[in-house]
A and B are shown apart, each in its own frame.
Chain A
Amino acid sequence: MKDLRRSLDRGIVQRIALDPPQGRMSPADGRRTGPLSLLAPAALYAAVWAAGGWLLAGASRGADAPVLQVLFHLAAIAGAGLFLAFDLSTRLSDPRSGLRARLIGVFRQLGDGDLIRTAELARSLDADLAQGVARAVAGLATRVEQLQANSHSVAGAAEGVERGSTVLAASSAQQAAAAGEVTAAMEELSRTAAEISEHAERQNQLVLTAESEGAAGAEAVAEAVEGVGAVERRIADVTARADTLGTRSREIFRVLELISEIAQETHLLSLNAALEASAAGGRGRRFAIVAGEVRVLAERVRDSVASVRSQIEEFASAIRSTVVATEEGGKEAARVLEEARAATGALAILRASLRESSEAARQISSVTRQQTSATEEVLSTLRELHQVVERMSRDLSLLSSTSGRLRAIGLELELLAQTFRLDSPRSLKRLVHSWAGRLPDAPERTGWAPQDLIDELVAAAPFVECGCIVDARGKVLATQTASELQATTTEALQELRRRNLADRAWFKKAVESSRAVVTPPERSVMSGEPCIMVAVARRNAAGEAVAVVEFDVNVRHWTDIGA
């Protein structure tokens, strides 16, 4: 590829170097027939004559001057005559020299790729030759046109493939990403399931441990309950005995009460007896004594009763405190018993729930194992899919790069095709020539509007990014960009208009040669995209370059050429 490009570059340079101005003939070329061919010897004669005259005039003013003058004139004529004779003899000696030269000229033009010029030259050949050459040229033009068309198709197809493969690559990348996500999720699920399973197993182990401990705990509680029950029974015993004692003391109190009443009555009796005795006077004295003793007895009884009563009360109080304390103890025991029973109940519930939990854990374990195997299957399928997608992704990117190369090849072909100047709408050289044809032959004169012209030309060529008209000295007369770029390029355009492009390669080459110039792709200052520059010089009647017209073609849009 690179070789081709390099050879094309060299070819262009070579061709430009060899390119003769239009309508002129260079000595390297074949000779043209016609009246102009006699100009050369005539000019030579005139030049020699003039030079000789000048020399003679400057050399001497002697009497030999006229003789020398005549000799010189004769020499000039002789030289011219020799020249002419030689020329004629050459022409006459080789009846075929004219034809040969013409053929050489035709092939040279052909070699340079200028098929239009080739066709023109071919018309000067003999009829058969001319026909043959014309047919050859036509055939070549057709093939080149086909080449141009095919290179367009290649480019178009390559672009299509590239776009398609980009889209495919993107979607496959998405698929790969999605598959990757699913894979990741499934792996996560798998891990989680494994964790759950493990956890359930541990749970089960814990439950078994708790079971055995729970059984031990239940036994301990049962023992405690038994112990408390025994205590309670003893307490009940004590309480019963205390009750009995209480009852007894109450009975004693009643007896004491009775005795007390009797004592009181006895006392009263003794008083009344004493009163009777006093009423009886002397006779009642002994009776009064007896009454007095009875009274004393009654008082002693009363005192004893009081003493016994207080002792009994103390005793009863002591018993009551004992009973109270015992009752408290009993309540406490009952509470402990209640708690123990509650604990038993709670333990039973706990054990039951532990068993349930164990059962649940076993079920979870089994289910997650099933889950795991199913997940594993899915995962392996996903992994396969992932690999397929990755391969596809790689293939697509390969395709994308291949289509990119294909596109580049198409561009090379197009450029190659464009080196041929032919009467085809796709020919850029033909286009630039047509642009040059629109310029006046004396652009330095006013009376024409270069900006309007360039605007019109650029607007008419959709693949042209930028066009400019430059005078013979390289000063920019007018320039314009494609409509879609105008919004962003106003500043760059203004900058360009102020510049002098005389040092540009294409300018120099355009000025030097009569052929159109096509440069290899460069980055455009306008759009930054790869563009080829096509330029040609407008020549006046004298053949001088009076202006150069140039346009940039965006390589990406070269499929628009001729559309």
Chain B
Amino acid sequence: MTGGFLIVRCDGALWGLPADQVALIERSVEASGAMAAGGASGLEVRFADGRRLAVDAVLTLVGELVARPLSPRLRQLLPPGAAGLAMLAGEPLVLMARESEVAHV
């Protein structure tokens, strides 16, 4: 999978968001529900399609990540919206899918 990835920490876990889907990063006053661990930080990622994701931190933007496609087994077990697994600086991260709906409560 090519294209840049925005690396964020969400609920303690590392996620890689497809950069071309991210519209902007902004600070939000309101906390977005139970899924938003970033209630304290107040950071939000707004996607191109309007979806918002509260994040703990925005770490970096990487050019490319090498990921293996998920097996049905793992796809079943990983959170919805996960498209694959990758490594960044010795830490495993989850790559977010492009097409799938990201449901954040």
A–B direct touch, CB within 8 Å, in complex?
A: no
Which residues of A are in contact with B by a Cβ distance under 8 Å? none
